[in-house]
Chain A
Amino acid sequence: SQELEQSPQSLIVQEGKNLTINCTSSKTLYGLYWYKQKYGEGLIFLMMLQKGGEEKSHEKITAKLDEKKQQSSLHITASQPSHAGIYLCGAAPTGNQFYFGTGTSLTVIP
């Protein structure tokens, strides 16, 4: 069974628009990681969230962990073409096995 569900699966936005990607776990999260892949490259680590309610920002990307909902959201403000790529969440819901979400493909139209 899928441990981490990401939504949406793909997203196409106009440059300058805000967007949100969600990652939902079927079990309690012990930490949530966000990665990004630029097309044709490997995964790049973005940020890690550990505590419920924790929020971190990097440039125009903000991620928040809501432990009660077993969910994390990644928000991009004023999107740019450089934000395009695949966003992937990863976590260890049981504390042992590490799982990844299915990824969200983001396209930003100039």
Chain B
Amino acid sequence: DTAVSQTPKYLVTQMGNDKSIKCEQNLGHDTMYWYKQDSKKFLKIMFSYNNKELIINETVPNRFSPKSPDKAHLNLHINSLELGDSAVYFCASSRVRTGIYGYTFGSGTRLTVV
């Protein structure tokens, strides 16, 4: 059983389009995250939700909007995609807000904007 699943795994789209990446975890974790990984493999946190409440919202363009319908899901919607949005996006979850029990990461979504 996949613990943290992201869909799609690959996404190729044109500039200006709107797209969504979905994330679901079946671990019963109460905190979920979205990270962006650049070409040098550096991870940068974008958002964090704890029990559907936004707790971390780093400086990202307003075109990025997270949506958490319930604590098992955290979707990422991106409007008006730009070339610089091309990256791998990772979803993760942890048991408690502090992440003290460690992370479980999804397999990543490779977004390519052309």
Task: Please report A residues at the B interface, Cβ cutoff 8 Å.
Answer: 9-10, 31, 33, 35, 37, 39-43, 45, 48, 86, 88, 90, 92, 97-100, 102-105
Contacts and interface: CB of A to CB of B under 8 A. Distances in A.
Contacts of B100: 10, 39, 86, 105
Contacts of B41: 31, 33, 48, 90, 92, 98
Interface string B76-108: 000000000000101010000111111111011
A42 B102 contact: no
Contact of A39 (B42, B98, B102, B104): B98
The SS class assigned to the A binding surface is: strand
Contacts, number: 59
Nearest to A92: B41
Contacts of A99: 105
Given A86-B103, A98-B37, A98-B88, A40 B45 contact: no
A40 B55 CA distance: 9
Q: What is the predominant secondary structure among interface residues of chain B facing chain A? A: strand
A44 B56 CA distance: 14
Contact of A43 (B43, B101, B102, B104): B43
Contact of A37 (B37, B99, B105): B99
24 contacts: A33-B41, A35-B43, A37-B103, A39-B99, A39-B100, A40-B56, A40-B98, A42-B43, A43-B43, A86-B99, A86-B100, A86-B102, A86-B103, A90-B41, A90-B43, A92-B41, A97-B107, A98-B41, A99-B105, A100-B105, A102-B102, A103-B99, A105-B100, A105-B102
